[in-house]
Structure 1
Amino acid sequence: MMNASGKFLYTIRSANGVLVENLQIYGKSRSEADEKIRQMYWRCEIISCNMVSKDSKARTPHIKMQWVRP
């Protein structure tokens, strides 16, 4: 049996108005991935959702964080 799950790439607006991009969620279907998003980001607005193809080399960008003391 083949694994039918996929990766979905989301852009959402959270309940407090913050735009969140490049959220990658695994799900068996789009509706399952939507449900996971809504559990994590309650009352969010889904702006866009794309399925990441298995052939794609899409990766999460590396984020470099630097702590600055006030």
Structure 2
Amino acid sequence: MQRARSGNVFDPRTGLPAAPRWDLVSVTSPSSALAEALSTAFCLMDRQGIELALAKAPQARLAGLKAQA
């Protein structure tokens, strides 16, 4: 029997593991807490949403984004 893979990002509406849009999201920032929060949120956002969020956090930079294969 195969076990279902469980992630560490959860859908706040259901409390269940969320299916990420991206295989890799990397954010840099002088604040590690901000980088962690943004990279986690970006896992579920489309590219336009990511760009809008980055515009509100000019100290953060998207260092890597890899689409799911």
TM-score tier by shorter-chain length is 0.3 to 0.5
Q: Determine which structure has the larger strand proportion and give its number.
A: 1
Which has more radius of gyration? 1
* TM-score, normalised by the number of residues in structure 1: 0.39
